[in-house]
Amino acid sequence: MSDWNPDKYSRFGDVRLQPALDLLARIGAVPEGDVVDLGCGNGAVGARLRDRFEGRVLVGVDNSEAMLEKAHVGGAYDALVTADIADWVPERAPAVIFSNAALQWLDGHDALLPQLTGMLRAGGILAVQMPAQNQAPSHAAWGEVFSTLFQGRDVARGPEILSAGAYFDLLATIGDVRVWEVLYYQYLAASEDGHPVRRFTESTFARPYLDAVTSAERLELIAGYEAAMAKAYPLRADGSVLFPFRRLFLTVEI
């Protein structure tokens, strides 16, 4: 895929940040050691992690150079590391591995999650938030419209995350596990450039579909998706949308 666009991603920074803050609030006392923001993106959570873990070494890890440049400007991190999450190994065992809306891009969670907990020092915590939205119209429609318009062409759909129960069973023998889901009703303001849900998803989930088409085909794809969103998420009188978005959370303290 093309690299991330930090400006497009930041367009809905407030609603994207809230789940990270909710996850952060569920982290209690932790031992001394580094704090890792795994999949830190543009560093949106960096300042909050810095405030919560004052005096700790704060490390951001991401595979997008464009996003890391934005994170560097924020100045919250002691170090920024360019790496794929699946291959990343810390220099020393951290006290906290915090991952907000990043691990859903990877498959193999049955191996990845135990691998991450195994990197922690004793008493450390893995804290993860992931969208659980792939079956909702906002996400499913990208694939449905693409398949209708461009029959015979395939786009690799993002990995499916596991169920809450599957994560609990996977991690219960490793440490103290907490798993929960939240359905956020996100207020998306009216947009002059299209349906607000399209503007929200185009910088994240839709990237593989938009990258797979020409400029002319992109207009067709967007028009089809916009029509689907108008039915699934009707605009309010002022052009805004109250957009239901489900997210899965888990913490593992070892």
Q: Is 105 left (phi over 0), alpha (psi -120 to 50) or beta?
A: alpha
CA distance 71 to 208: 24
Rg of the Cα trace of the chain?
Answer: 19
Q: What would the pLDDT profile of 177-203 be if each residue is shown by its tens digit?
A: 999 999 999 999 999 999 999 999 998
Q: What would the pLDDT profile of 30-39 be if each residue is shown by its tens digit?
A: 999 999 999 9
CA distance 248 to 23: 10
CA distance 51 to 36: 14
CATH class of 1-131: alpha beta
Q: State the pLDDT confidence band at 8, using cuts at 50, 70 and 90.
A: low
CA within 13 Å, CB half, 75: 0
Supply the pLDDT for residue 6. 54
More confident residue, 154 or 92: 92
Single-letter amino acid code for the residue at 149: L
CA distance 212 to 152: 13
Supply the pLDDT for residue 164. 98
Instruction: Tell me: pLDDT of 12 over 70.
Output: no
Percent of the chain residues past pLDDT 70, beyond the cut: 94
Q: Could you tell me the residue ranges of all domains in the chain?
A: 1-131
Q: State the pLDDT confidence band at 13, using cuts at 50, 70 and 90.
A: confident
Q: What would the pLDDT profile of 102-145 be if each residue is shown by its tens digit?
A: 999 999 999 999 999 999 999 999 999 999 999 999 999 999 99
Supply the pLDDT for residue 126. 98
Edge-to-edge strand list for the sheet holding 241-253: 79-82, 58-62, 35-38, 96-100, 125-131, 241-253, 176-188
Q: Is 54 left (phi over 0), alpha (psi -120 to 50) or beta?
A: beta
Query: What mean pLDDT comes out for the span 165-184?
Result: 98
Query: What mean pLDDT comes out for the span 30-59?
Result: 97
**Contact predicate 170/112, CB 8 Å:** no
**Contact predicate 137/228, CB 8 Å:** yes
Supply the pLDDT for residue 2. 54
Instruction: Tell me: pLDDT of 9 over 80.
Output: no
CA angle, residues 98, 251, 8, in degrees to nearest 5 = 40
Supply the pLDDT for residue 110. 97
pTM of the model: 0.94
Among candidate residues 244, 229, 208, 246, the one with its CA nearest the CA of residue 105: 208
CA distance 195 to 199: 6
Q: State the pLDDT confidence band at 159, using cuts at 50, 70 and 90.
A: confident
Q: What would the pLDDT profile of 207-218 be if each residue is shown by its tens digit?
A: 999 999 999 999
Mean pLDDT score of the chain: 94
**Contact predicate 209/140, CB 8 Å:** no
Supply the pLDDT for residue 4. 45
